[in-house]
Amino acid sequence: QSALTQPPSASGSPGQSVTISCTGTSSDIGRHSFVSWYQQHPGKAPKLMIYEVNKRPSGVPDRFSGSKSGNTASLTVSGLQAEDEADYFCSSYADIKTLVVFGGGTKVTVL
Amino acid sequence: EVQLVESGGGLVKPGGSLRLSCVTSGITFGNAWMTWVRQAPGKGPEWVGRIKDISQGATTDYAASLQGRFSISRDDSKKMVYLQMDSLRTEDTAVYYCAAGLCVGTNCHWDDAFEIWGQGTMVVVSS
């Protein structure tokens, strides 16, 4: 069982928006602004999409945005495109021996 | 080109050992803190552990769930990082990735945002 909780699936039509939640605790998401989001296509390594809650690495489209409130972080993908269909994982720095915790993943389907 | 390439995965019996390697290119390895992340089939990633750079004593930290069975080391002359896995269990079956954090200017997110990943190496623990 993953430390961070994500819904198993989300979907939207092309051009629409989808928002994925990621719920942690006061020891991880609630305490730190070091929340990241990763996109993973089948058979591939994860790709960093968001860091520090809402920052995008170079090359990541601005259709991807992040936010946080309390112990819950969110990723929004606006203007859905076919290539956005993938698994998305959240992660957070944590105040425990295990320094980084991940979510179980959300499969985004573009209808 | 920035690249991480893992090797050493395979089939091992419960209780056995395995050493994974990760060779790096295109990064300033001497300054890099290197992380291992694993992902069991159909599951989310799991942080395994991290080794800091030599100037920080090559300090290591590990996931609590590993209970001291794994250890990470580095060879800066070869730009390589290793994951020694002992007393392997069936639940250690996963793809193992080495990863490095995002650097924006001189600010590096070694422990919270992994920008560079290898292709992964599969470890299967089964009798």
Four-residue CA torsion sign, A23, A29, A33, A34: negative
pLDDT value at residue A95: 79
If you ran DSSP here, which 8-state letter would residue A96 be given?
S
Amino acid at B121: T
Query: In chain B, which residue's Cα lies nearest the Cα of A106?
Result: B44
How far, in Å, are A10, A84, A88, B69 from residue A7 at the CA level? 7, 17, 10, 32
- As to burial, measured by CB atoms within 10 angstroms (0-12 exposed, 13-18 middle, 19+ buried), residue B68 is exposed
The minimum CA-CA distance between B77 and chain A, rounded to whole Å, is 26
Q: Which residues of A touch B35 (CB under 8 A)?
A: 100
* Interchain contact, B115 vs A98, CB within 8 Å: no
**B101 lies within 8 A of chain A by CB:** no
**B111 lies within 8 A of chain A by CB:** yes
pLDDT value at residue A2: 77
Q: How confident is the model at residue B63 (pLDDT cuts 50, 70, 90)?
A: very high
pLDDT digits (tens, 9 = 90+) for A15-69: 999 999 999 999 999 999 999 999 999 999 999 999 999 999 999 999 999 999 9
The minimum CA-CA distance between A90 and chain B, rounded to whole Å, is 9
Q: Distance between CA A110 and CA B97 in Å, rounded?
A: 28
* Interchain contact, B44 vs A103, CB within 8 Å: yes
Give the N- to C-terminal CA distance of chain A in Å, as an integer. 28
Q: Which residues of A touch B64 (CB under 8 A)?
A: 96-98
User: Left if phi > 0, otherwise alpha if psi is -120 to 50, otherwise beta: which for B15?
Assistant: left
If you ran DSSP here, which 8-state letter would residue A4 be given?
B
pLDDT digits (tens, 9 = 90+) for A83-93: 999 999 999 99
